[in-house]
Amino acid sequence: MAVYVDAAIWKWVGHRWCHLLADDTDELHRFAAQLGLKRSSYQGPPKTSAPHYDITGFERDRAVRLGAIECSRDEIVAVFRRVRVRNFKRREPKVVQEPVEQEPGMSRWAAGS
């Protein structure tokens, strides 16, 4: 199994960021722990379809030293597609409708349902 990083090109809050992905989610978490990443920074279902961590350029350098494979944009997109959760749909909040009280003998249409 392998762990992958792309180039740290995404600017945010004064740092450059990239993606850390792996062939297997367990391997991803093990590698992230070696980097000292908090599990709370993990991004995966239901927030995103591909399990990954966003890491800084500094963390990326350490990841490469620990054996992560450097990928081009096209290569990381291919990894993303390979590891993504199939049939993923972002969860929308469920709207729960309370049942309308009906008087005996009233149709549900007359009750406003």
Output the pLDDT for position 73. 92
As a whole number, mean pLDDT of residues 26-51 equals: 93
Q: Which residue has the tokens 């978490």?
A: 29
Q: What is the pLDDT of residues 72-108, one digit of tens each?
A: 999 999 999 999 886 555 445 455 555 555 555 555 4
Q: In angstroms, how far apart are the furthest CA atoms of the chain?
A: 75
| Its pTM surpasses 0.85 | no
Contacts for 5 with CB less than 8 Å, ≥ 6 apart: 18, 19, 20, 21, 55, 60, 63, 64, 68, 69, 70, 71, 76
Q: Hey, what are 96's tokens?
A: 């729960």
Ordered by start, the domain boundaries in the chain are 3-83
